[in-house]
Structure 1
Amino acid sequence: MKFTVVGSGAMGLRYGVLLQDAGNEVDFVDGWKPHVEKMREQGGVYVSRDHEDKHLVPLKVYYPEEYDGNPDCYVFFLKQMQLSDMLKRCEHFFKPNQYAFTCMNGMGHVEKLLKYFKPDKVVAGTALVATVLNGPGDVDFIGKRGAGTMNLANYTEKPDDFTHKLVEQLEKAQFNPNLTTNFRGTLMAKVVFNSVVNTLCTMFEMTMGEYADYEGADEMSRQLIDEAYDVCERDGVQMLTTRKEELDSVNYVSKVANPLHYPSMYQDMHNYRPTEVDYINGYLVKLGMKHNYFAKTHAFLTHEVHLAERGKQRELKRKREEEAAPKTVVEEQQAAGR
């Protein structure tokens, strides 16, 4: 099978590289110039696993404007706020027979994909797996090979032959896929998970394991899970798991699977990038308001993250001003090691 990964960041690289290892032909498309140029310069991407065994994996990477491949399936992994622009840049090579598959965080991406792909060609899911992009051309897969799980479903909730072939390739790549026929329930399970772990770990700058070890973590998690489930039930979403099972998932992934991992929202905040909180906690708030239900804890956390983003932007501005300021003779000597 031939895949093209659109958005070759941490998760895009993980899916693409492992699908390539499983014997598939994979192209990579990305718009971040330092990343693309670095991979071209070194002939691929450097891949580590749990900070060890760093090695170069050859791959073919393109900018959207220059790509003219014809894959069976596109794999989309971008930030929610990046997707619309990237789809416009890529639309010249989309074809009616091609599928779109994605496991992006948050909600909002499916509606954007449906502007370019037929409903029966859209497959979406969730991935409970951790990956870190250390820098341009350098990625770290967290967890042993075969660690983590994922759920996926057809937008139409009617799996076809291609869907089963896709699942087969994901199994070969050891992503442990679980095919469901509950589209919204599948996606919302990860939204709820992320609304707890991603947001709280980001706000308090801690790993998933550090959060889960706090004696009050279960109480905090339950409050957020209960609010989220209240919202989903009012909107008619049939969740894949019970509230208790969702809490058990938060604890297992945080304590056992990825205790040393900083979630992607933390990585964005730490690197002065906008977070996806509006598409996770904020999405739950908006969905609840449709039914006159106020998810007040999620609303409060959304505001907190935005305040923290302002603080990080102020820190970045100060950092740039200090770097641009003329150095004194003493500072220059110190920088030179004298």
Structure 2
Amino acid sequence: MKFTVVGAGAMGLRYGVLLQEAGNEVDFVDAWQPHVDKMKEQGGVYVTRDHENEHLVPVNVYYPEEYTNQDQDVLVFFLKQMQLEDMLKRCKHFFNDKQYVLTCMNGMGHVEKLLQYFKPEKIIAGTALVATILDGPGKVDFVGKPGAGSMNMANYTEKPDDVTYKLVEELKKANFNPNLTTNFKGTLMAKVVFNSVVNTLCTLFEIKMVEYASYAGADEMSMQLINEAYDVCELDGIKMLNTRQEELDSINYVSKVANPLHYPSMYQDMSKNRPTEVDYINGYLVSLGKKHGYEAKTHEFLAHLVHLAEHNRQAKTKINKLNTKMEKRAVNF
């Protein structure tokens, strides 16, 4: 199959590179200039697995405005929620009504934006339980052994077609362990609930997933958040893939066994003073609850804590920059 990956960050590169190695044609489109320029300069991306065996993988990478290929079977979107709207506008010149869309972005809100450009029957969305780190421009680290992690996916219409089944086979060849469901909202919300616990708490305390899961009170904390989230989903008529206990078991397995030494993507954003996606994760659950007269107070409190941490980091950065300027002026004087 022919793929275009829009968003050549950590997850976009993992999906694109492994699909390419499985025998598919893959192009990459991204807008981060240092990253794109570096990959063009070195002729590809340097890939490691658990920070070992670094090697250069040749990739075709383009800025949105210079990419014109409309002959692709599937467009794969991996962006931050707050980046998607602008990227869709910049890429719309190579969209057509024959292309399918696959996305496994974190949080909620992206599907509504994609529906402004693509027909419902062409959209396939899901969740990816796999860890990847962008170490810097032109460098990516795949966390875990080949075949580590899994993904759930579903058609927006909940009616798989021939292209869907063909896509599933290519994802199997690429070792993504796809599970095709016919429960669209339940599939997406499973990852939202997972992230609302692990990503948010690990980010706030700047800890790895196993450091959270090994705390004696972790299960109690996780279940409080799971219960609120499931209450909200049930009020909205969403049938979840897992029971509440199974969701807790999944959090513990991923945190203790599958990716114990991983810092979640929200932490990676916070540590680099980038905006987090908390409003599309915990904040989404809060908004959905209010729609039905339910207050998800714990999720709301956590969202405020993340924004407070962001605010504090930004303030410290400004102070540090000001102090550096004052020191330089003092030296020059």
- Give me the TM-score of the superposition, normalised by structure 2: 0.98
Rounded to whole Å, the distance in 1 between the matches of 2:221 and 2:48 is 34
2:152 corresponding residue in structure 1? 151
1:291 and 2:292 correspond: yes
1:172 corresponding residue in structure 2? 173
Q: How does 1:16-35 map to 2 (within 5 A)?
A: 16-35=16-35
Q: How does 1:112-127 map to 2 (within 5 A)?
A: 112-127=113-128
Alpha-carbon offset, residue 328 of structure 1: 8.5
CA RMSD of aligned residues (A): 1.3
2:217 corresponding residue in structure 1? 216
Letter in 2 for 1:178: N
Rounded to whole Å, the distance in 2 between the matches of 1:106 and 1:323 is 37
Alpha-carbon offset, residue 314 of structure 1: 1.2
2:188 corresponding residue in structure 1? 187
Rounded to whole Å, the distance in 2 between the matches of 1:316 and 1:8 is 27
What are the Cα deviations for residues 39-59 of structure 1, in whole angstroms up to 9, with x where unaligned? 011110010110111111100
Letter in 1 for 2:35: H
1:48–1:146 distance in 2 versus 1, CA, 3 Å: same
Alpha-carbon offset, residue 316 of structure 1: 1.9
Structure 1: state its 5+ residue gaps: 332-338
What are the Cα deviations for residues 286-314 of structure 1, in whole angstroms up to 9, with x where unaligned? 00001100000000000000000001111
The secondary structure found in structure 2 opposite 1:47 is strand
The secondary structure found in structure 1 opposite 2:309 is helix
Rounded to whole Å, the distance in 1 between the matches of 2:51 and 2:103 is 26
The secondary structure found in structure 2 opposite 1:241 is coil
Q: How does 1:288-327 map to 2 (within 5 A)?
A: 288-327=289-328
The secondary structure found in structure 2 opposite 1:54 is strand
List structure 1 segments (4+ residues) > 3 angstroms apart after TM superposition: 322-331
Letter in 1 for 2:16: G
1:63 corresponding residue in structure 2? 63
Rounded to whole Å, the distance in 2 between the matches of 1:31 and 1:322 is 32
The secondary structure found in structure 1 opposite 2:121 is helix
1:227 corresponding residue in structure 2? 228
The secondary structure found in structure 2 opposite 1:244 is helix
Letter in 1 for 2:37: E
1:10 corresponding residue in structure 2? 10
Q: How does 1:269-280 map to 2 (within 5 A)?
A: 269-280=270-281
Structure 1 range deviating more: 177-186 or 308-317:
308-317
Alpha-carbon offset, residue 323 of structure 1: 3.9
Letter in 2 for 1:242: T
Alpha-carbon offset, residue 329 of structure 1: 9.5
1:72 and 2:53 correspond: no
1:100 and 2:101 correspond: yes
Letter in 2 for 1:284: L
- Give me the TM-score of the superposition, normalised by structure 1: 0.96
Rounded to whole Å, the distance in 2 between the matches of 1:20 and 1:46 is 15
Rounded to whole Å, the distance in 1 between the matches of 2:68 and 2:326 is 46
What are the Cα deviations for residues 190-223 of structure 1, in whole angstroms up to 9, with x where unaligned? 0000000000000000000000010000000000
The secondary structure found in structure 2 opposite 1:8 is coil
1:161 and 2:167 correspond: no
2:252 corresponding residue in structure 1? 251
How many residues align? The count is 331
The secondary structure found in structure 1 opposite 2:76 is strand
Identical pairs, percent: 75
Rounded to whole Å, the distance in 1 between the matches of 2:269 and 2:186 is 26
Alpha-carbon offset, residue 318 of structure 1: 2.5
Rounded to whole Å, the distance in 1 between the matches of 2:35 and 2:322 is 26
